[in-house]
């Protein structure tokens, strides 16, 4: 679920287009002044958020004498955000389109959560503005097209701090969120023991009110995540200065799990946080998801048939998989049984490596594959250099392992 790659060459063209939108066709004059005025309004708005000043924040909104109720809504919006521990908040205007006393601005919102984000989270916003009494005011501030919502846009945020976690929720009681924090606090040392200490050792968990809220935070249709208990967002291959990943919970699916399942899910997602900087476009999903499941089940005493019931059923029916799962097998919008078998197959592949070559080698193999820039040849090189085998030989070993453990 993470973004991949780095800025390509054509990004320069996109930035130039943004600048053209900012200054207008004439390249200056009145449009420049409007852009500057809008930036100053947003600077005041950002300062109000950083200072915790509701009065200053509301003052950037359209007066109720111009548009009824706008400032009342602004107070509610500011209140929703109040509990989020912010280290920074700013806007950068990238384009302005004016029509009389109304304007639409494209902007980047940049913010950091205190104690977790080493770099700002950057999200695209579209703002509607109205001019009254010679000044510009914000009439609406919403996600840009195809951009995700922020948690505080879904309601008042409640924040709970664990020893190693920060849980932010909407529509959830403080006691519920403490339960998430306790599970996350147990997940962090479990992941550190398996993966090592080359990560922050802290996680941010977002708990929206519903599946629809989760989908809003991902900027995706809810239908694609029905039955998925949680996902992790972040920058694949991100440096130590990248923003902290977010574990986003689907409370509908997560809520039907027992205590054991909930712990496995949060440990799985915490593993994605820990391994993010070593995960790249070269990493196949059978490895990244299989490794996260391996850490999640590690030390629990669960047998292969208990942890891989769908694949066990397939083997019993004579449907032994011919090859390791492909990335396409992990799609959330396909057959639920096929998705489960993909996860279980990846888990058994990592379990095989841990048992045959050792847990340390499994981690080394993961890092070796992720160190490649491209998928082609990455797994082959990792298997050759770390495991002393080939993909063909490993597939044969894996098929025999699946048959022996699940047959």
CA dihedral 139, 141, 145, 147 (to 10 degrees): 180
H-state helical runs in 52-199:
54-58, 70-81, 174-195
Q: What CA–CA distance (Å, rounded) separates 295 from 305?
A: 17
DSSP string over 28-40: STHHHHHHHHHHH
* Mean pLDDT in consecutive groups of 10 residues from the start of the chain, 407 residues: 34 29 42 90 98 96 73 91 97 96 97 94 96 94 95 97 97 97 98 94 97 96 92 73 88 95 98 96 97 97 96 97 96 87 98 98 98 96 98 98 95
Q: From edge to edge, which strands make up the β-sheet containing 157-161?
A: 157-161, 165-170, 203-207, 246-249, 230-233
Confidence (pLDDT) at 30:
66
Contact between 50 and 86 under an 8 Å Cβ cutoff? The reply is yes
Length of the chain, in residues = 407
Confidence (pLDDT) at 18:
32
What's the sign of the alpha-carbon dihedral 22, 28, 34, 37?
positive
DSSP string over 172-201: --HHHHHHHHHHHHHHHHHHHHHH-SSS--
Domains of the chain as residue ranges with CATH: 11-147 (3.10.450.50), 153-274 (3.30.2010.30), 280-407 (no CATH)
Confidence (pLDDT) at 63:
86
Confidence (pLDDT) at 17:
29
């Amino acid at each position: 679920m993470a973004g991949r790659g780095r800025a390509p060459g054509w990004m320069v063209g996109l930035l130039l287009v943004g600048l053209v939108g900012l200054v207008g066709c004439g390249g200056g004059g009145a449009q420049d002044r409007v852009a500057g005025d809008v930036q100053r309004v947003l600077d005041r708005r950002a300062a109000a958020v950083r200072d915790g000043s509701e009065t200053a924040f509301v003052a950037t909104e359209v007066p109720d004498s111009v548009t009824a109720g706008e400032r009342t809504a602004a107070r509610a919006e500011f209140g929703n955000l109040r509990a989020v521990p912010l280290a920074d908040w700013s806007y950068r205007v990238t384009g302005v389109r004016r029509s009389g006393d109304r304007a639409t601005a494209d902007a980047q919102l940049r913010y950091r959560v205190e104690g977790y984000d080493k770099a700002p989270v950057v999200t695209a916003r579209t703002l509607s503005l109205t001019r009254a009494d010679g000044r510009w005011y914000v009439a609406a501030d919403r996600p840009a097209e195809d951009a995700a919502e922020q948690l505080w846009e879904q309601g008042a945020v409640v924040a709970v701090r664990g020893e190693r976690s920060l849980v932010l929720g909407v529509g959830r009681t403080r006691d519920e969120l403490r339960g998430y924090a306790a599970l996350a606090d147990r997940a962090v040392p479990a992941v550190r023991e398996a993966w090592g200490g080359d990560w922050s050792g802290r996680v941010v968990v977002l708990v929206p009110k519903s599946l629809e809220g989760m989908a809003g935070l991902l900027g995706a249709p809810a239908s694609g995540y029905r039955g998925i208990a949680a996902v992790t967002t972040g920058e694949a291959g991100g440096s130590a200065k990248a923003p902290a990943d977010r574990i986003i919970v689907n409370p509908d699916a997560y809520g039907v799990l027992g205590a054991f399942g909930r712990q496995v899910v949060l440990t799985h997602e915490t593993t994605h946080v820990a391994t993010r900087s070593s995960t790249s476009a070269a990493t196949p999903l059978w490895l990244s998801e299989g490794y996260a499941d391996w850490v999640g089940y590690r030390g629990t005493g669960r047998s292969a048939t208990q942890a891989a019931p769908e694949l066990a059923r397939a083997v019993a029916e004579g449907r032994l998989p011919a090859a390791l799962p492909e990335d396409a097998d992990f799609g959330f919008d396909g057959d639920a049984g096929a998705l489960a078998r993909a996860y279980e197959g990846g888990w058994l592949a990592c379990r095989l490596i841990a048992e045959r070559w050792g847990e340390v080698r499994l981690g080394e193999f993961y890092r070796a594959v992720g160190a490649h820039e491209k998928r082609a040849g990455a797994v082959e090189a990792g298997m050759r250099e770390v495991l002393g085998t080939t993909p063909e030989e490993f597939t044969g070993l894996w098929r025999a392992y699946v048959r022996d453990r699940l047959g």
